[in-house]
Structure 1
């Protein structure tokens, strides 16, 4: 089985899809992203769209117009070669020109004007999609530019979902609960041994992969043990009750400063009510569920917990090997379960459920080693700084990845319940500052294998 240029599996020898199939995939991705954007912006009134609910986030109306502006820049102008619609607003929606805390003071488009602008851009972008080449030069090959724009919009949809979590006021979003664990398919144990040896990390073939996922390269990883599920709220509560936030020995020095200066005592949005913990989730206060992956913890908190537990965070290479390596074939797959795109049976993605699923859910999404929920539910902090792969080349612009490389940002993997499948795969790399707690981030822990264990 090989992977087609649309990112779906095809039998060896089968011809790649033609231009119309590529256009259909791009159209589906663009429409799905816009549907999610509309849901997140139509559920609140104008003042809620223009308000800044946290200095860490943009007003929702900024995200809405920024989505349209990026689509205009890349699809209407760069691919379509058409005249600009609103060149005078380009600087207003340049994420590198204006920090988030300053954006409410800018002369932003009002909500209805932003909606009209995004709709007009979309109409022209779909005209471009109908006629532009989806093969040939790199920007348009396999519909890359359209896939890039769809991923960009879905990434902002997750950002807007974070803003909804930070906003105060009554609940405006709702979704069914995620599935329960499957009693007939229990996890094989608390941890799994990942064999040592080389594997292929990153990709050179995934058509819509972004620049920081490229190129594919060989990495040699020593055998290690990895949790078969993310760390749960119940397990994290034991860290709290054992005085984990008070013990300096567990903490990175910068993390210790963070918790002491800001009096951090628990994951963001948690609070005590009597002897129990409750959390605020999208405007609803509810008991903290012990069996869900913990979410809204910083890298420093994840690292401290791992040290307290006598373990560590996995490296980025270890995480990807656990998520992609098939011991039977020695091949790196697109996802833990294989090459097929994620579906509702595989992972908690796409804002179908506005919370992580209990550990043990989604048995169809497990890796060959029985490791579960590597994709979806919560972004997982890894031990590593965000750095380029050997042979990295920025494309199509430096500001997507290259300007963030260095020791200031830590890598997250796997995606959360808030990310769409189009922007989540086994090679996808996310990154953030180690202090960040508002994002939908959790973690799992690892430990070194004993000498001789897991030899390939």
Structure 2
């Protein structure tokens, strides 16, 4: 697929995408009092006010200084908001900008960036082609918006955010699994203009036939594993995972608890019954792997997930999204914090892949069995710290995006990664099996 877009359209897309990200950042940072912005709600996460100023600082460094050639506004804070220099656990001890100052700084940067967009030719250099730098920064902000939403979930206290419930699901007539035939397909991308370095380049993969779940594993299905003593039987667990649940006394997904014989969950300040038909959420890679073993199945590899999501066996084409090349709409997927929870399985039949696999985009990030590794021919761009420094066996790949992901940071080729112990993220999974 080749994208040929005029400079005027690219500028409009850049402004619209950056504005959408900033509107969401504003919602996430204006819905709580200043003391909640400056507090650290978990050692795993930054104070919300750090994320806010970090967003502005990255935008200043990349779009004002690098792309626009403008003088630095606040070079004195570059070190404070360097994510690699300061781990999250120590960020509250830094001399952070106060909430009002952070808001003013981010607003000042954005006002100047709009002028840069209008004056910058969107061609002639890799950072400029198709407005890549603006898309990269918009994706960065939306990724931090998802991180801030995770912090909201970890935050104690009454609900600060609201959203309408997702649409109802219907799995009537859906098979439990789909056969993906053996053969080659094109994995990754070369043509997607705002794709990040770890998604590139496009290359051929030969994948044996396999079966994959039609929909993600639900809370109801996962509950069978819990009630069958899955957390008490070492045979289902990888050694590191077994050690983790033993050390921390883990007996169910994060934010679940049993009360009076009923399973409840805490979701953004609201305690409610665990809905059986939603994809299971807040499980680690170890939990997903253990469930798959218990069910006599396995997690799909990254290439199996992408083939199920993008390959059209009728035409041999590789699609941008499961439903085709068009941008996501509310009929295709649960994205963009439109709902503050996954949608029940069977909610988005129009988002199905050509093979009939559903809800591959949105709802929950899906753990795969794969380590986060570079594709053949990978080239770090525009800096090593985005992907390259994370490559290796320590991180597992997640695919598909969650309800907290914006469309700009979610596509059939998008790769997320995290440590296999992580549970606070909006992670779920589906399973696969060999033919």
Q: Please report the TM-score for the alignment, with normalisation by the length of structure 1.
A: 0.95
Deviation, structure 1 residue 18: 1.4
The 8 Å contact of residues 3 and 339 in structure 1, kept in 2 or not, is answered as: no
Partner of 1:69: 57
The 8 Å contact of residues 168 and 344 in structure 2, kept in 1 or not, is answered as: yes
> Within 5 A, what are the aligned runs for 1:319-330?
319-330=305-316
Deviation, structure 1 residue 3: 3.9
Deviation, structure 1 residue 370: 1.1
Q: Distance in 1 between the 2:422 and 2:124 partners?
A: 40
Structure 2: stretches of 5+ with no match in the other structure: none
2:175 to 189, 192, 197: 189
Q: Distance in 1 between the 2:145 and 2:195 partners?
A: 19
Deviation, structure 1 residue 141: 0.2
1:144 to 119, 124, 132: 132
> Within 5 A, what are the aligned runs for 1:109-128?
109-128=97-116
The 8 Å contact of residues 187 and 372 in structure 1, kept in 2 or not, is answered as: no
Partner of 2:317: 331
Q: Distance in 2 between the 1:425 and 1:110 partners?
A: 35
1:377 to 339, 363, 386: 363
Cα deviation code 1:156-183 (max 9, x no counterpart): 0000000000000000100000001247
Cα deviation code 1:362-411 (max 9, x no counterpart): 10000111110000000000001000000000000000000000000000
> Within 5 A, what are the aligned runs for 1:16-415?
16-182=4-170, 186=172, 188-415=174-401
Deviation, structure 1 residue 133: 1.1
Cα deviation code 1:128-159 (max 9, x no counterpart): 00110111210010000000000000000000
Q: Distance in 2 between the 1:235 and 1:182 partners?
A: 16
Q: Distance in 1 between the 2:343 and 2:158 partners?
A: 23
What secondary structure, in the 3-state scheme, does the structure 1 residue paired with 2:80 have? helix
Q: Distance in 2 between the 1:200 and 1:344 partners?
A: 27
Deviation, structure 1 residue 259: 0.3
Q: Distance in 1 between the 2:7 and 2:410 partners?
A: 24
Q: Distance in 1 between the 2:178 and 2:24 partners?
A: 36
What secondary structure, in the 3-state scheme, does the structure 2 residue paired with 1:121 have? helix
The 8 Å contact of residues 48 and 148 in structure 2, kept in 1 or not, is answered as: yes
Deviation, structure 1 residue 17: 2.0
Cα deviation code 1:328-375 (max 9, x no counterpart): 101110000000010000000000000000001110000111110000
Cα deviation code 1:185-236 (max 9, x no counterpart): x453000000111000000000000000000000000000000000000000
Q: Distance in 2 between the 1:302 and 1:353 partners?
A: 24
What secondary structure, in the 3-state scheme, does the structure 1 residue paired with 2:192 have? coil
Taking only aligned residues, the RMSD between alpha carbons, in angstroms, comes to 0.7
Q: Distance in 1 between the 2:248 and 2:31 partners?
A: 32
The 8 Å contact of residues 170 and 345 in structure 2, kept in 1 or not, is answered as: no
What secondary structure, in the 3-state scheme, does the structure 1 residue paired with 2:76 have? helix
Q: Distance in 2 between the 1:334 and 1:182 partners?
A: 25
Where does structure 1 differ by over 3 angstroms across 4 or more consecutive aligned residues?
A: none
The 8 Å contact of residues 259 and 265 in structure 1, kept in 2 or not, is answered as: yes
What secondary structure, in the 3-state scheme, does the structure 1 residue paired with 2:420 have? coil
